[in-house]
Homo-oligomer: A and B are copies of this chain.
Amino acid sequence: MTLLQTIPASSRVRPRALATFERIAVVGATGLVGSEALSILYARGVEPGRVIAAASERSAGGEIRYGEGSHRLVQATRERLRRVDLALLCASAEVSRDLAPALISAGATVVDNSSAFRLDPSTPLVIPEVNGESLRGAPPLVANPNCSTILLLMVLEPLRRAFGVEVIEVTTYQAVSGAGAAAVEELIRQAKDFAASRPLRSSVFAEPALFNVFSHDSAVDVHTGLNGEEAKIIAEARKIWVDRSLPISPTCVRVPTLRAHAQAVRVRLNRPATEAEVRLALRTSAGLDTVDDRAANRFPTPARASGLDTVQVGRIRSDPAMGCGPEERCKAFQLFICGDQLRKGAALNAVQIAEALDVHRRLGS
């Protein structure tokens, strides 16, 4: 049973956005995820007077846009955030480890975008459409999963519910914005330098991203050969699905896109399904859009997915290695996914967690 099904229809009309959280702080407000969170809060109708935009000492005192107006940035210290009811932490794991316990002690609810608490057994790691039931009782600290994990499980969850999932193989095409605003600036500068016949310089990444593709920039475990991003996908998917031995083969790669990650996915199901059944499960799932026009060769792309709240899925086909005909039941399917990793992959998912917590607080559930 999903969260929405547990709420009487009459209570779905809210007096105002995130009503049980009077004062809402966005920490890391100048970053890509933080500024996306501010724009989502504004779009949700959170009044300017309720919002605190917090940033590092370097940025504090400056201004940041909030809808039509702007906010003065406060420094993200325990003292300045003492009276906050909800904090969306969109900074580093280090900042989260420092601030979260103090904010919670002072009575705040924290939704943390960093990796600091994701694998902590007592902290729920939540994609509302997937395991929103973990938000019952409105826990004071909730971790937001890694962007790649969110996009992947958003698409695989309806298949898990309908057919069970046995093995996941995922190969990524990740935008540079996953590495922060400086990485976006670096790629844009490289395009301009190329156009002006100047040499390409790199400092965020070890090599130019323009006209190149490289293995994900997170550190590689010298024993397993997995990089940090791949290890996150494995550990987080297993935690969210409460399946400690779920077999996952990830390969994480950066490509020269600015925004929205893509993933080529092969999934082996517990129970064979027809392509039509797989399509139906995906098409009827909240938060997904099917973009799958074979005749027009039109499928999900990062360009098309950028700025959208839904995750796009296409190239839905039975796995040719299984030898199933197009109409036959098959145990393995292939998919191509694109999603805006700054929205559903980060800020939007965090706000959706906060909204679900708000509902549980109002209903006392």
Contacts and interface: CB of A to CB of B under 8 A. Distances in A.
Interface stretch (A3-11, A114-122, A248-256, A282-290): A248-256
A321 B248 contact: yes
B222 A319 contact: no
A225 interface: yes
B299 A215 contact: yes
Interface string A43-86: 00000000000000000000000000000000000000000000
Interface size band for A: 35 or more
Interface in A145-203: 167-169, 171, 173, 187, 191-192, 194-196
A331 interface: no
A243 interface: no
A21 interface: no
Contacts of A107: none
Contacts of A314: 215
A196 B194 CA distance: 12
Interface of A: 167-169, 171, 173, 187, 191-192, 194-196, 206-208, 210-215, 217, 219-227, 230, 234, 245, 247-251, 253, 255-258, 262, 264, 266, 275, 294-295, 297-299, 301-303, 314-323, 326, 332, 334, 336
